Amino acid sequence: MSLFSSLSVSASGMAAQRTRAALLVENIANSETTRTPEGGPYRRKDAIFSTTQVGSEFASELDSQMQTGVQVSAISVDQREPEKQYAPGHPDADANGYVHISRVNPAEDMVDLVGANRSYQANVAAMSAVKDMIQKSIDLLR
Amino acid sequence: MDGISTSLERYMDLVSMRQKLVSSNIANADTPGYKTQDLDFQASFQSMLDGGSARPIEVQGLETKNDGNNVDLDREARLLAENALRFNIASNLVKSQIQKIRSAIKEGAA
């Protein structure tokens, strides 16, 4: 059934946008974090999308028609030098009294978050349209 | 089933195929380098009526963003609504065909 694989495509889009939103929220939450397990201040993360072939669970080998969905293929980590802020009293300050803080720009992340939200909604709209089409096909049997 | 029902079946197949491409376009709205996919509706329908299959094409004339992606969400939203309506019309027509056959069977029995 071809319509069911459209649901998988929209689901892959929703999952990818949700992952992206999670990373953006993490960035905002950690914009002032100076300690991380890797050492140094927090570094901004972002999702890299790529196309992927998705099929319905029931598609099996018989239905070789695969659909182009989306996946998070990598998570990019900001490699720029951290910003320095003069705060001699801070426990993480270096010998010269500077604290290394992340280069997260909350405004940038908020804008991206709005974009992720909009894309998620578009996928939901596509999914509900396909759902209605499947329902119409089922109604033919009544 | 007669010719009309067969054509309607092909039509619904084609609309659902197009719906899949629209879903893919929307899912990949933020994928770098992705190009909008669509069907040449009339040509595909003609070829399907003749027993062929539909071939997806890359849509030309859309504005390409800096990351090489050219998905226009407004265009996809329009196609989403259009496909839903087309499918609705076709399914209602199929329903009326089935009802005709059913009434022929029932009236015969009475």
pLDDT digits (tens, 9 = 90+) for A86-98: 988 888 888 899 9
More confident residue, B25 or A142: B25
> How far apart are the C-alpha atoms of B35 and A63, rounded to whole Å?
24
CA A57 to chain centre: 23
Residue A3 is nearest to which of B16, B26, B76, comparing CB atoms?
B16
A94-108 b/e (C-beta count within 10 Å ≥ 16 → b)? eeeebbebbebeeee
Q: Do A51 and B91 touch (CB under 8 A)?
A: no
- Note whether A68 contacts B: Cβ–Cβ < 8 A: yes
More confident residue, A64 or B68: B68
A36-58 b/e (C-beta count within 10 Å ≥ 16 → b)? eeeeebbbbbbbebebbebbbee
- Note whether B35 contacts A: Cβ–Cβ < 8 A: no
Q: Which residues of A touch B77 (CB under 8 A)?
A: 122, 125
Q: Do B91 and A16 touch (CB under 8 A)?
A: no
Spatial contact of B56 and B35, defined as CB atoms under 8 Å apart:
no
- Note whether B19 contacts A: Cβ–Cβ < 8 A: yes
pLDDT digits (tens, 9 = 90+) for B36-79: 999 888 888 888 888 888 778 888 888 999 999 999 999 999 99
Residues 6+ apart with CB under 8 A from A39: none
Banded pLDDT at A62 (limits 50, 70, 90): very low
- The pTM (predicted TM-score) of the whole model is 0.85
CB-facing half-sphere around the CA of A48: CA atoms within 13 A: 7
The pLDDT score that the predictor gives to residue B29 is 93
The structure tokens listed for A105 are: 């720009």
Nearest Cα to B21, choosing from A57, A6, A1, A133? A6
> How far apart are the C-alpha atoms of A5 and A57, rounded to whole Å?
8
pLDDT digits (tens, 9 = 90+) for A10-60: 999 999 999 999 999 999 999 988 889 988 899 999 999 999 888 666 655
By DSSP bridging, strand A67-77 and strand A45-54 are: antiparallel
B63 DSSP assignment: P
Q: What is the mean pLDDT of residues B1-27?
A: 89
Inter-CA distances, A67 with A53, A74, B69, B82, B90, Å: 5, 21, 18, 21, 24
Residue A1 has pLDDT above 70, yes or no: no
- What percent of chain B lies above the pLDDT cut of 90? 52
More confident residue, A3 or B89: B89
pLDDT digits (tens, 9 = 90+) for A106-140: 899 999 999 999 999 999 999 999 999 999 999 98
Identify the residue among B8, B21, B26, B99 best suited for mutation to test binding to A, counting A beta carbons within 10 A and taking the highest: B26
Q: Do A49 and B94 touch (CB under 8 A)?
A: no
The pLDDT score that the predictor gives to residue A50 is 93
Residue A130 is nearest to which of B17, B19, B37, comparing CB atoms?
B19
Q: Do A51 and B84 touch (CB under 8 A)?
A: no
CA A42 to chain centre: 18
- What percent of chain A lies above the pLDDT cut of 90? 55
Q: Do B28 and A70 touch (CB under 8 A)?
A: yes
The pLDDT score that the predictor gives to residue A59 is 57
CB neighbours (10 Å) of residue B59? 18
Residue B86 Cα, gap to closest chain A Cα (Å): 10
Q: What is the mean pLDDT of residues A68-79?
A: 91
ipTM exceeding the 0.90 mark: no
The pLDDT score that the predictor gives to residue A17 is 96
Q: What is the mean pLDDT of residues B16-43?
A: 91
Spatial contact of B68 and B33, defined as CB atoms under 8 Å apart:
yes
Q: Which residues of B touch A118 (CB under 8 A)?
A: 73
